[in-house]
Every structure is written in C-alpha cells, then in structure tokens.
Amino acid sequence: MSDIRIIETQDGSHSLFVPALNETYHSFHGALQEAEYVFIKMGLHRWCSSYGNSLKIVEVGFGTGLNALLTLRESLQRKIQIEYTTIEAYPVNPDLLKKLNYKDKIELVDIGIWFDRLHEAKWNEKVDLSKDFVLHKIKGELKECKLSKNYFDLVYYDAFAPSKQADMWDYELLDKVAGTIAERGIFTTYCATGQLKRDLKTIGLEVETLPGPPGKKEMVRATKP
C-alpha cells in the first residue's frame, strides 16, 4: 500500500490514512482513545480483573504498533506477564513510524526507547522486550499463519473495516481465529456489524455488544465458554 500518510485524529494522536482504501488505521475521532478503550480497557483489563496478571495475546493487524505499545506499557507498569503475538501482512514504512507522535501522547518512562524496540524487533522471531513481555511479530497473511489451537487468552481483532477489507471478516477466518482462543478467552474489536455478531455466535462464542469509544456507538467483545 503506497501513498500512506500521517493524519492527526481528534484526540491529537496520529493515525495513518490509506488513499487506496479511503480508510484510516484508527478512528478519526481519536486513535489513542479508541485503542485504550477497545483493546486495553475492554480487553486486557477485563481479562486481568477476572483471571490474573499472566496471559497470551494475539493481535490481528500490528499497523503502527499502537496497541502493542499500550499493552507493553500495561505490562511494565502493572507487572503483567504477556506473550504478545501480532500478525501484519504490510509493515508500515520505518520513515513514517519515526514521525508518529505516540511518544508525546503516552505516559511511560523511556517511551521512545520502548516504541523503537517494538518496531526494531525482528519479524518471525520471539523477542524478550522485557522480563515480562515477549513479542512475536509475524509477517504474513492471517489466512496463511499457523497458530496454536486453544492457546490465546485475548484476541485484539484490529483489521480494516469490513466495508474496506471484507475478506478479513469472512466466517472462515473468524472461525480460524476463534479456534486459537483458550477456554474463557476474550475476542475484542471495534467492529459491531450484525453479520460479525451472528458469525461469532454461530462459531460458539458468547457475544456482548458494548458501548463504543468516543465517536462510535458500539463495539463487540466475545468470550469462549
């Protein structure tokens, strides 16, 4: 994807705009506040409040690394042991990454160093970023990735919207992802289409429609019984 450019969202944090899709990587209403709400508050915090401070996460769509950076912050500040797997078919150009303003918007000691370590970590290898955070960046298409069954405690599903990248929301792909979720594991996403909710229910997950982040009416969280 070429001609990608940085935009400033309404909360002052950066996102990327993809002209070919006429789509942004995050909500125009606020990249940071969307990620904090959908994936950290409704995902990570929800899991930890019920099951403790040790879990395995898989993220669909590494993108700018914002979700990973926020999750790393939680690991460092709350002493949460996290194995973080993230899948990305089209890594962002390093020159663009250097211009993102997350280092100025997120409170974390040595934020710049941690952000750089996330992006400089080798692809397709497990890397110990800290004593409590193991990162495994997988470069490739989700449909081609081999992922362990019943393994992950939390899924961040952060692909482009169904209207822009419909194949990422196909039943077969969702079923594959659901198969990687361990018992009591959580699937969380900003998307709340009726089709997504029907598919997740058919797959066997317990689906919740929750209030969305600022600017969005709803989001979805689902749990594997």
Residue 183: CB atoms within 10 A of its CB come to 9
Q: What percentage of the chain exceeds 90 in pLDDT?
A: 98
Contacts of 76 (CB under 8 A, 6+ apart): 108, 114, 130, 132, 133
Give the model confidence (pLDDT) of 32-89 as tens digits.
Answer: 999 999 999 999 999 999 999 999 999 999 999 999 999 999 999 999 999 999 999 9
From 112, 110, 92, 93, select the one nearest 102 (Cα to Cα). 112
pLDDT (tens digit, 9 = 90+) per residue, 67-79? 999 999 999 999 9
Domains plus CATH for the chain? 32-223 (3.40.50.150)
The closest of 125, 127, 188 to 152, measured between CA atoms, is: 188
pLDDT of residue 158: 98
pTM for the complete prediction? 0.97
Q: Which ranges in 5-121 belong to alpha helices (H)?
A: 31-35, 46-51, 66-78, 94-97, 102-105, 111-120
In the structure, what pLDDT confidence band is assigned to residue 150 with cuts at 50, 70 and 90? very high
Predicted confidence band at 1 (pLDDT cuts at 50, 70, 90)?
low
pLDDT at residue 2, as a whole number? 64
